[in-house]
Amino acid sequence: MKITNVRAHVLEAKLSQPFAYSRAWYDTRTAMLVEIETADGLTGWGECYGPARMTAAVVRSIASWLIGEDPLRTDVLWQTIYARLRDHGQKGVVIQGLSGIDIALWDIKGKHFGVPVHQLLGGAARIEVQAYATGLYRRKSGDPLKYLPEEAAAYAAEGFRAVKLKIGFGIEEDASVTGAVREAIGDVALMVDANHAYDAVAAIRLGRMIERYDIGWFEEPVPPEDVAGYHAVRSALSIPIAGGECEFTRFGFRDLFASHALDVAQPDTCAAGGLSECKKIADMSEAFGIRYNPHVWGTGIAIAASLQLLAVLPSHTPTSLAPIAPMLEFDRTEHPIRQAILTRPIEHAKGVVRVPDGPGLGIEIDREALTRFAVSD
């Protein structure tokens, strides 16, 4: 079996109303999908997290290296691409581009053998995954002390047993909103995500103000480059510290793990190196006793790839009679492309998502939707 074609699909859709996290406003959602075709008629799909046009340029630059190669040699192809670009792209958009390619190759591999990817990764430890609702962003109008608790309560009413709140809008406001959301959701787990809005001094001050709200984790309290800041925050607070969506490959996570800067690692499968690399990062995470909960921010392809990996991850407390399993990040914000590209959307049932059990990633792509959202070059 040989690779015959590699395509990058840049997609874009306007939102009905903008929303914000601590660093930026969104009025558009984008996606960058990778399609790899083989001479045997099999097609694999992957997705790249990050700036769509930039990751598309990376994939198109790499494409010629893959033509004629055997798509089943996933590790060999990963190492070949990484080695050729090591001088220029150990992190960032190069690895994000490689991630989408790698996921597409695993999709082909699963289809070739007629099994879901999780079977090839070692076999499923679970076929259903508890999801947490990511949402609770800021809006252009309204009082966040009113609309954020209402939104969080709606997720709880849907059956989600965990939600994540976006913070990073000022210490006092963040503390007030966190308290209001906690009151609205009762005993539902609550995580907070600052998207590296603060330095260590501010993050510690905020963390001490919200510790009483039983926070599941404090995500990206400081910039990803500030490993010492992660240490300071982790040492000062009882709240578990999470991060890693801005880190790449086992080499980047090796240093985070060895320094014990995190309680919860959050590699993005579509960014940190794809399924090949994220399985290695997950194994290393287990060896260091650090929990692994992947970051997920994309379309149904990103969700499917993350579910295939989540299926094989060990529980965080493997010897417990009631083991704590890794969770799926389930984005609930508006994203017209997310489920539209799938012929069968990936949905939750009372906060639980089934792992797709079809060959490969277990999904089929709606090509009409690709055309509808396509961005012309």
Cα 135 from Cα 54, distance rounded (Å):
26
pLDDT at 2 over 90: yes
- 249 conformational bin, left if phi > 0, alpha if psi -120 to 50, beta if neither: left
Q: Which residues contact 140 (CB under 8 A, 6 or more apart)?
A: 17, 18
Fold classification of 119-354 (topology level): TIM Barrel (3.20.20)
Catalytic residue among 9, 118, 295, 316: 295
pLDDT in tens, 60-100: 999 999 999 999 999 999 999 999 999 999 999 999 999 99
Cα 328 from Cα 254, distance rounded (Å):
23
pLDDT in tens, 120-174: 999 999 999 999 999 999 999 999 999 999 999 999 999 999 999 999 999 999 9
pLDDT in tens, 326-376: 999 999 999 999 999 999 999 999 999 999 999 999 999 999 999 999 997
Tokens of 199: 């330095």
Tokens of 118: 């999780």
What per-residue confidence (pLDDT) applies to 317?
85
* Architecture of the domain delimited by 3-114: 2-Layer Sandwich (3.30)
Domain boundaries, the chain: 3-114, 119-354
SS3 assignment for 34-82:
EEEEECCCCEEEEEECCCHHHHHHHHHHHHHHHCCCCCCCHHHHHHHHH
Is 295 noted as a catalytic residue in this protein? yes
Band (pLDDT 50/70/90 cuts) for residue 323 is confident
Band (pLDDT 50/70/90 cuts) for residue 198 is very high
